[in-house]
Amino acid sequence: MFKKLYDWTQSNRARFGEIGATFTAVWLWVMLVTTFLAMLTILGITSADGGEGSRLFKGMLPLGMQSFADTSLTVSLIGSFLGACVMAPLIEETFRAGLCELCGDKDGNVRHLFLLLAGSFLGFGLLHGGGYFSIFIQGSLGLLLGRLWFRTLRGPDGKLNKAWAYGANVFVHAAYNFSLFCFQVYMVRSQMG
């Protein structure tokens, strides 16, 4: 049994590498943007407690977590977790899978690159409701997830496996949202004393 699991893991090593690389790229991008926004706040160019700076920081969060501190903590925790870490990845990646199907050919290659880029970048950014902030932040993440679809679509045997590509996208999306969820819980708890 362990031999079969080991063989399966080794044969899909490239796919696991793509998943890890995409998650790392997502976090590097977010850390870069967060650092830039924090520097603007420190320099007094913008503020994190209202106005433009607040919109920038809020625009980084998934839509279900943007009103996190505006409701009761228990309802907000449960709702944010289910919305951001379960439902959003499942639903949004279903739409991305459909977009990737439209943009790919029968061999799993990108056929309509511009449509894929526009849909993943603009569509994913606008879906998060933060205007040009979301297009800049979430849209960039959408590009990485669109790339992940095509990088994990073909298995080691050369056959297309849409379930694997969909699962990889859902996993990276959910892991990213979960890490933001944990950070948001930490921030709320630290403000409560």
**Predicted confidence pLDDT, tens digits, the chain (193 residues):** 788 989 888 988 989 999 999 999 988 887 887 777 667 767 766 555 555 555 555 555 555 455 544 555 566 778 878 888 899 899 999 998 898 888 888 888 888 888 888 888 888 888 777 667 777 778 888 889 988 998 999 888 889 999 999 999 999 999 988 887 887 777 666 666 5
Which CA distances in Å does 186 have to 56, 69, 153, 179, 182?
Answer: 19, 12, 36, 11, 6
Burial 2-35 (b: 16+ CB within 10 A, else e): eeeeeeeeeebeebeebbeebbebbeeebeebee
Q: Report residue 62: phi and psi, to 5°.
A: -60, 150
Supply the pLDDT for residue 152: 92
**Backbone torsions φ then ψ of 66, nearest 5 degrees:** -70, -25
For residue 23, give the nearest of 181, 169, 127 by alpha carbon: 169
At residue 67, the 3 state secondary structure works out as coil
pTM of the entire predicted model: 0.79
How many domains in the chain? 1
Domain containing residue 71: 2-192
